[in-house]
Amino acid sequence: MTQVLLIALLLPVTLLAHAGEDHPDIQLDIVRKVPVTLPSLSASIQSCLTLSTPIERNNCFALLCTPSYDCVQALIIHATLKEGPVIGIRTLDDLLMESPRFGLNTDGHELGHIIGRTHAKVHSINGNAFIECPVDYLYACQHGYFEQALGTAEEKTPKDIAEEICEGITTEPRWRSRFYCYHGVGHGIMMAMKNDPFASIRFCDTLSHEQAAQGCWQGVFMENINAVQSGLEREGVFFDDDPLAPCSRIPLTYQWQCYESQAANLMKVHSNDITAAAKECLKANPSVLPSCILSLAQFVTNPGWQTVIVNARSDDAFVGPFSMNTAVKICQSFPLSTLPVCYMAAIGNAMNYNQFQNATDFCSMIEEDYRRACYQKISNEWHYHGRPQPEIGSLCEQFIPKEFQDTCAAIDESEQIVHAKAKAIEAATQKPGVLSKLVAIISWPLRFFSNTPPPPLELPSLGPSMPPPASSHSAGSGPSAASAQTSSRALIGTVLIRLTGQSFDPTKVTISAGETVTWINETEELFWPASDVHPTHELLPVFDAKRPLQRSQTFSFTFTEPGDWTFHDHLSPWATGVVHVK
């Protein structure tokens, strides 16, 4: 969640391409192509990558090509080709530390796309390669990887691609790795669906099993929060008068995953007052309320967010630098009925970053009645992450007090929760289910693997709230002269292509140069005709409706240059076709 602090409005940039070092088969389709290529490096990047500090590496990078945005793209591509996406992201980290020197004005997300696309091109499309992508820069590597997979897989639907990637994972623990993979797919499908969470959730529900669907849901909702933090959210998703939206307005089946990512928006609405944000969670359905609290509690043991929380308070309730003592105090400012949930989620976040000493310090500072559950949570996380039992035993001896070391023997989700103080809280607040919900928080990584199918999906459509297509579009040069209409009676093309169901009719047309083709949406779903390659449309950039068409709306384009111009539905990229211009 630390990446949320780095979110900035993405600046439009031109992405260039370059053939990969030692990989002559890497062509311009790694990244968005333009008529020029990136600068060649004056020497191998390998010697720079072995240096020990960012300053040393940056000084070395500056000798390989003239510092510029183009140079940065070349450097991260070469680093990824040589050492994989982890080093590719580390190289991007290094370069962003000296942004002015390298001509950068970006949060790095679009550059992370290049790393993911490059990685997918080199290693082909498979699950073990996909999960090598770090989560930095708002899952940018996963976005790029999935983008490449969608854009290059022939005769495969996004569902086929997603399951081919994730079900092929062999990295242990496979269940956790596959869940993470489908989480990444959720981020990627949101990109393909232009930040429409409802259409993306419908896609998730087509996946073959519940673990896949829930991982995908989680990624969709996290990406949805990324969108609102960046100012790129879709209309009709978030509402000023309902800080819990969209979670509060979708079927209960999806609300747990939605609330898991809602914290950043709640903090934004409440000016980073985490106590007020936690009180807002009390308005959620009781069965998913713990997930709302969980999302906020992850910030408690996050160094960046804890600083934000402390600085937002005008009193002295939370003071000083990052510490576990402050983390405990922040949890204690939550509504009393949610205190156990805050404790367990705060520990879970610390363990996600391998902050073992911080986690055990936290447990030692909370009320005695909760300590056994706290130490059990630490042990559970070691098990969830697939550490072998001998390693867990060693870690247990190093970090867990002797009287609680028995918690390290196995995952435990029952005995640990029966505490007198928790019972007293439940009785005093008349909030039934606190104990059972605390069990859910402690054991939540295992809850994704039931075989119970979700109920029928009833999600709102963004169609009515989307702005209508622009009335006209024309380019200053090149093969273009396009227009969009709002009625099928206004068809101006010599050839008509319909979208019926999830395919075009016809899928191939032949015209003469100078003639016009008109696309019409005859479905209830949104439709966005555009030139290949998905999702960048660089084959013929001016051939792009620029926004979705609703039912009966049309888009027309005049082709002036001969050739085979392939196209797709940007919202459902498996729907494709070609215009042959004589």
Note the pLDDT of residue 34. 31
For β-strands 563-569 and 516-521, DSSP reports them as: unpaired
Is pLDDT at 29 greater than 70 in this prediction? no
Is pLDDT at 10 greater than 80 in this prediction? no
Q: Give ∠ CA 135-136-142 in degrees, rounded to 5.
A: 45
pTM of the prediction? Answer: 0.60
Highest mean pLDDT among 276-285, 301-310, 360-369, 424-433: 276-285
**77 band by pLDDT with thresholds 50, 70 and 90:** very high
Is pLDDT at 498 greater than 60 in this prediction? yes
Note the pLDDT of residue 127. 87
**Whole-angstrom distance, CA of residue 262 vs CA of residue 466:** 23
For tokens 């539905």, what's the residue? 569
- Specify whether the CB–CB gap between 165 and 127 falls below 8 A: yes
| Per-residue pLDDT tens digits for 99-131 | 889 988 777 888 888 899 889 888 778 888 988
- Per-chain mean pLDDT for the chain: 76
Q: Strand, coil or helix: what is 304? A: helix
| Per-residue pLDDT tens digits for 120-161 | 888 778 888 988 988 777 778 888 888 788 777 667 888 888
**412 band by pLDDT with thresholds 50, 70 and 90:** low
| Bridge partners, 118 (sequence order) | none
Q: Please state the rounded mean pLDDT for residues 227-240.
A: 86
Cα 94 to the center of its chain, rounded Å: 22
Is pLDDT at 381 greater than 60 in this prediction? yes
Provide the 10 A C-beta neighbour count for residue 534: 22
Q: Is 153 exposed, middle or buried (0-12, 13-18, 19+ CB in 10 A)?
A: middle
Is pLDDT at 1 greater than 50 in this prediction? no
- Full set of structural domains in the chain with CATH: 336-447 (no CATH), 468-581 (2.60.40.420)
Highest mean pLDDT among 232-241, 381-390, 420-429: 232-241
| Per-residue pLDDT tens digits for 427-443 | 333 433 433 444 443 33
**Whole-angstrom distance, CA of residue 68 vs CA of residue 357:** 42
Q: Give ∠ CA 326-330-334 in degrees, rounded to 5.
A: 165
Q: Which has more confidence, 504 or 63?
A: 63
- Listing DSSP states for 272-298 in one string gives T-HHHHHHHHTTS-TTTHHHHHHHHHT
**Whole-angstrom distance, CA of residue 164 vs CA of residue 143:** 16
